[in-house]
Amino acid sequence: MKKFFAMCLLTLTALAQQPSPVHISYDIAKFRGDQNTDYLEIYYSFEVSRLKYLKTNDSYQSEAVISALIKRSSDDSVVSHQAWRIPFSITDTTMLQTSRTYSDLFGFLLKPDVYRVYIVTGDMNDASVKDSVSFLIDLDPFTSDKVMLSDIELCSSIHPSERDSSNRFYKNTFEVKPNPSKIFGFHQPALFYYLETYNLKTLVSDQYLTKAVITNAVGKEVLNHEKVKKKNYESNVEVGILKVHELRSGVYTLKYSIVDSSTKAEYSTSKRFFVYNPSLPTDTLVATGSGSIDASVFATMSEEEIDKEILYVRYIASKEEIDRFAKLKGIDAKRRSLYEFWENRDEDRVTPFNETRQEYLRRVAYANQQYRTGFKEGWKTDRGRVYIVYGPCDDTEHHANETDMKPYEIWYYNSIQGGVQFVFGDRTGFSDYILLHSTHRNEIRDDNWQNQLQAN
């Protein structure tokens, strides 16, 4: 078990040194577990067509390695760790010319608490092909005094199925295949959903109304499905399908509700998803003005999260933008300013995601894990800043044990300004490597940097 755990940590510390072509997508859903636990399912997918395939006899073989680590947020203790390999085989490399995505899930019984999840995927044939995600999960307890709903699982398909313990997608008489990207539209015209409802006996009426409603970014209802049901059981499984192929590209919300026919009390759960239909015109109602912010990820961020991201972007913000951020008051003003900051840097506005922001925040997350010291978060260190601004270097020299010299590193970037280098030195002995010298024209330069590392 110690060896297995070490393998997980090794994978986690070897996060991607360059923007990954495999790109992990993920989603989660929380269900009622046993007496004192929640059952958490985590869905993930990645691009298997971007893996490296090696010729073996009459086929081409590749293999991905996946590791998952869950830590309790309050004390950073590990509560679960897994790692596994997934082989892939094709007979013709022309199959790799189109996007091919692998989707899967794993589940855990966890006590209600706040957890941080790390997922890493890598290519066994090419160490440079890897990607990682990290996110927080807040698990609330499922009580028994009122109607409660699980999270909604967004799916690519749902079919009735006989019980099959070997099928990891089997769930309560259905084969439920998740869509971790949460993207629907021309490539996935139907949105399938799965959820569970609990404590139905607490309803006053013998009948209740179920409502599945899709609203666009400004709250306008675009699809609605209702059904009256009898209160026969304590809990129930709810599955459905909504055709979204005629919706225009944008962010939408699926809300599922149970309404007591007598008291009109409503219990609901919701999940955001994305529609990408490039053949349809953009919805002008949500394309401009404040609606665009409502359609973005910033609409659901807390003020603390907004403030943190504003700090992160200072490395690429102009002086005017930094001054503007400093004068902002209130979450709405901060949200709009940050939204506009990233909109100005979105290089491909056709896609539902801002890839520039995603890559920048991926670098921040990597810096926080890889370069943190006992006194600084990783993004605040010199190595963290250089990694965030310039990306992964092409080559690194590590000098940890030279006679009469304190430890130092040299990073080489071959494609910047005809080739530049950065020299970092651990002058304090606390693994806080300070930038001592660089040949980049906008960075500090000291051709006699070795003098700063002379051992006393």
Our CA dihedral for 272, 37, 46, 90, rounded to 10 degrees, sits at -130
For 416, the enclosing helix (H) or strand (E) is none
Output the pLDDT for position 292.
59
Handedness of CA 89, 51, 124, 182 (dihedral sign): negative
Count of other CB atoms within 10 angstroms of residue 388: 24
Output the pLDDT for position 446.
95
Helices and strands (DSSP H and E) totals, the chain: 8, 23
- Token pair of 115, please? 């957890």
Question: Mean pLDDT per 10-residue run, the chain (456 residues)?
Answer: 37 37 85 93 91 91 94 91 93 79 93 93 87 87 95 97 90 95 90 98 95 88 94 95 90 94 95 84 48 67 89 93 92 90 80 81 90 89 96 92 90 94 91 94 94 84
- Report field, pTM of the whole predicted structure over 0.75: no
- Token pair of 171, please? 């769930």
> How far is it, in rounded angstroms, from Cα 89 to Cα 181?
23
Output the pLDDT for position 295.
62
> What value does the CA radius of gyration of the chain take, rounded to a whole number of Å?
25
- Token pair of 389, please? 């601004």
φ, ψ of residue 334 in degrees (nearest 5): -65, -40
Please state, in angstroms and as integers, the Cα–Cα distance from residue 12 to each residue in 7, 63, 65, 130, 134, following that order.
9, 18, 12, 11, 10
Q: What angle do CA 185, 187, 188 make, to 5 degrees?
A: 65
Please state, in angstroms and as integers, the Cα–Cα distance from residue 75 to each residue in 6, 72, 335, 416, following that order.
19, 6, 31, 41
Output the pLDDT for position 12.
37
